[in-house]
Amino acid sequence: MDTTLRDGEQTPGVSLTPEQKLEIATALSDIGVNVIEAGSAIASEGEREAIKLISEAGLPAECCTYSRARTGDIDLAVESGADSVHLVIPVSDLHIEKKMGKTRDEVFKMAMETTEYAKERELIVELSGEDASRADQDFLKGLFKAGVEHGADRLCFCDTVGLMTPERVKDYIPKLCFAPLSIHCHNDLGFALPNTVAALGAGASCAHVTVNGLGERAGNTSFEELVMSLEKLYDFRTGIQTEKLYKLSTLVSRLTRVPLATNKPIVGAMAFTHESGIHAHGLMKDSGTYEPMHPETVGRTRRIVLGKHSGSASVQAALTELGYKPNGKQLAEIVKRIKELGDSGIKVSDADVMAIADAVMLLECRPVLSMKQFTVVSGNTVIPTASVTMSVNGEEVTGASTGTGPVDAALKVLQQSVSVGGDITLEDYHVDAITGGTDAVVDVTVKLSRDGRVITSRGARTDIIEASVEAVLSGMNRLLRRENEDRSTDTD
């Protein structure tokens, strides 16, 4: 029984339109859910409209509405076209006395009368004990037994504030199965899933769940986590089309505007994402090494992300997927730069990887020019000045230059320093921040010309000056190397 549209919608800040509820209900029915708690008919006109839309949609799933022990609630359920009512009765003394201001006998009588009233109107009744985990279990047992005698089709044990343990569940549940029994758990202490699994093992025949574990406070038992726990750990076929789980999860997240935790099991962004070099290497040989299930089983795909834990195998795999084929030396340099970014606390995106690969693969293994060192001084009290020491055709050249800014100074001194190899002109300079933030990878593109030949080159670093120097140096090498190759050809 999925209660995303009722208990899940009680998540603070969540409010769904009737049309949105119908869209989610359709997806729930399509994936294989048996019962959909579409809302609470007493809550509002919009709720009644949503229940009516769902009940008239011809879905295979049963359409259920939440109901208090009041005949007026039952009448509205009938008017809305619901198939069943989730008839919730407070059963702990705390709820009976403090919330209701009544006695056990009064609540007991209300439960029986409302159950009969609903059955007379041909509704399926699931009689639910609210705060059952804190109730006198003998009182709960008597109420459930009498409820079945008065026509209740199903029963439900509610751990309303998440205080049960699997051990207590196994003790309580077998004594209450006078009819098909549901388990309804909240996740306040993180026990919703294990308590639900324990209840199913102890005799409960139905679980109440919400997509993404939505619900008040810490939420309810997560639909996708329960389904895959039963399927994978207990080899139990739930009848749910698991390959549609991720699509359903993202639909609910989008419509409720409740984002998924990145580390959430099954549907979180990191559930099938790997960075560690050891893990990535193992996955490439056999995905079972570091994954409990194939991501496709739940409608996902595997992702290899890069960072300081990445090894050459995972970087190579990512580059291949992006269409790059670096040689060994280029791959080593790309890995080195990715690790440097990771060590700086930066998340390395695909765009970052592409920018780094483009920059590295334009550098030649035997450059005409190579940088020994460069220094840039800039500030509001000094003229931006850059100095470099380079190797030009094997000869060491040192130079310095000023500019309108640190980048301008750096590029001018580069041009001056390579004049021994031929004049090279900077035709165009363009910079992009690949990702947002002050620590973004900077992608610099330059256009250089010499003797009528024009080439474009790129550099990618987190430092704009380093990226600019790299782009210009790479382009100069290509121009000068091309000339050397031409001369070699002429000699031949």
In the chain, domain spans: 8-256, 273-361, 369-491
Would the pLDDT of 281 be above 80?
no
Decide: 426 and 446 in contact? Cβ < 8 Å. yes
Helix (H, G, I), strand (E, B) or coil at 139: helix
Please tell me the predicted confidence (pLDDT) of residue 365. Answer: 45
Please tell me the predicted confidence (pLDDT) of residue 381. Answer: 82
Give 449 or 350, the one with higher predicted confidence.
Answer: 449
Would the pLDDT of 346 be above 80?
no
Give 492 or 448, the one with higher predicted confidence.
Answer: 448
The DSSP string of 224-245 is HHHHHHHHHHS-------GGGH
Helix (H, G, I), strand (E, B) or coil at 329: helix
Please tell me the predicted confidence (pLDDT) of residue 17. Answer: 96
Domains 8-256 and 273-361 share a fold: no
Where is average pLDDT lowest: 329-333, 352-356, 395-399, 467-471?
A: 352-356
The DSSP string of 77-117 is HHHHT-SEEEEEEE-SHIIIIIIS---HHHHHHHHHHHHHH
CATH number of 369-491: 3.30.160.270
CATH number of 8-256: 3.20.20.70
Q: Name the nearest CA neighbour of 152 among 184, 176, 185, 128.
A: 128
Average pLDDT, the chain: 87
| 429 CB-near residues (< 8 Å, 6+ apart) | 411, 444, 445, 446, 447, 468
Residue 289 banded pLDDT, cuts 50, 70, 90: low
Q: Name the packing angle between helices 45-55 and 18-31 (round to 10°).
A: 40
Give 246 or 481, the one with higher predicted confidence.
Answer: 246
Where is average pLDDT lowest: 25-39, 127-141, 172-186, 297-311?
A: 297-311
Residue 302 DSSP label: -
Please tell me the predicted confidence (pLDDT) of residue 483. Answer: 52
Mean pLDDT, rounded, for 400-415? 84
The class level of CATH for 273-361 reads mainly alpha
Residue 86 banded pLDDT, cuts 50, 70, 90: very high
Phi, psi of 60 (to 5 degrees): -65, -30
Element (H, E) at 336: helix 328-343
Q: Name the nearest CA neighbour of 20 among 60, 61, 49, 58.
A: 49
Residue 279 banded pLDDT, cuts 50, 70, 90: very low
Would the pLDDT of 409 be above 60?
yes
Where is average pLDDT lowest: 36-40, 90-94, 361-365, 438-442?
A: 361-365
Mean pLDDT, rounded, for 436-446? 71
pTM for the full predicted model: 0.69
Mean pLDDT, rounded, for 72-99? 97
Mean pLDDT, rounded, for 14-32? 97
